[in-house]
Amino acid sequence: MYKLSPSILSADFSRLGEQVLQLKEGGAAYVHIDVMDGMFVPNLSFGFPVIESIRGLTDQVFDVHLMIEEPIRYVQDFKKIGADILTVHAEACKHLHRTILAVREAGMKAGVALNPATPVSVLEHVAELLDLVLVMSVNPGYGGQKFINQSKKKIRSLKKMRKEHNYRYEIEVDGGVSFENAVMLQEAGVDVFVAGTQVFKGDIVANIKKFDEILSAKQE
């Protein structure tokens, strides 16, 4: 069963609460929350007070994507404000193994994100600990960028690796996901689809339903 994780980075922040409620109305499984620190990525997004205030609105799974240096510093804080899945970038952690353990010990699901240039092999010794692997299909930092085709290969190898070793991680793709490439990504092995622009441009509920039509038609 596929999952849609709309990225609120593309929301109209003057109407954030209302739009988060529309994500539930449309039936999206997760809410994707992009936190940026202006160091790991060039951009800044939002932090604890914003996430905390939308936590009060919905019981949907908060899929938090940390694009910040040394995220281990904030694991407890993200637990406190209600993150369910905490995904850190492999490139941003000096001690990736320790960071993953800290996330799990805090009682959240642990994810690792890989930038387009980062090979799947960096996960070799931590893959069994992971609930989610996020494949960046754009360079992180901004919504609305063009999908990098090479990511497909990475998705396929993650699927193969999961099968070979009996791992349990979900495979998530993030960046440039659209109605046009969703089926191709599903066939490559994606379980969780992050979509910003494609969900928030126009009618949010209708866009989520359109993803559902496209992705439910082709279940394995």
Catalytic positions, written as ranges: 34, 174
Answer whether 41's CB lies under 8 Å from 32's CB: no
Task: Output 145 or 157, the one with its CB closest to ligand DX5.
Answer: 145
Could you tell me how many residues of this chain bind ligand DX5 (CB under 6 A)? 22
Continuous H helices in the chain? 16-26, 48-55, 75-80, 96-105, 151-165, 182-188, 197-200, 204-216
In the three-class reduction of DSSP (H, G, I as helix; E, B as strand; rest coil), residue 77 is classed as helix
Q: What is the smallest separation between the CB atom of 211 and ligand DX5, expressed in angstroms?
A: 12
Residue 38's binding partner among Zn ion, ligand DX5, none (Cβ under 5 to 8 angstroms by kind) is none
- Identify the residue among 169, 174, 189, 192 touching Zn ion (CB under 5 A): 174
Answer whether 193's CB lies under 8 Å from 173's CB: yes
Site string for ligand DX5, 116-145 (x = CB under 6 A): ----------------------x-xxxxxx
> Minimal CB distance to ligand DX5: which residue?
196
Beta bridge partners of 206: none
Show contacts with ligand DX5 in window 54-73 (CB under 6 A): 65
Site string for ligand DX5, 167-186 (x = CB under 6 A): -------xxxx---------
End-to-end CA separation in angstroms for the chain: 8
**Which long-range contacts link 10-13 to residues 24+ away (Cβ below 8 Å)?**
10/143, 10/144, 10/196, 10/197, 10/199, 10/200, 10/201, 11/200, 12/200, 13/46
Show contacts with Zn ion in window 100-139 (CB under 5 A): none
Q: Is 91 in the site for ligand DX5 (CB under 6 A)?
A: no
- Rg of the chain, C-alpha, whole Å: 16
Could you tell me how many residues of this chain bind Zn ion (CB under 5 A)? 3
Answer whether 178's CB lies under 8 Å from 10's CB: no
Task: Output 190 or 216, the one with its CB closest to Zn ion.
Answer: 190
Q: What is the smallest separation between the CB atom of 45 and ligand DX5, expressed in angstroms?
A: 9
Task: Output 65 or 109, the one with its CB closest to Zn ion.
Answer: 65
Task: Output 7 or 60, the one with its CB closest to ligand DX5.
Answer: 7
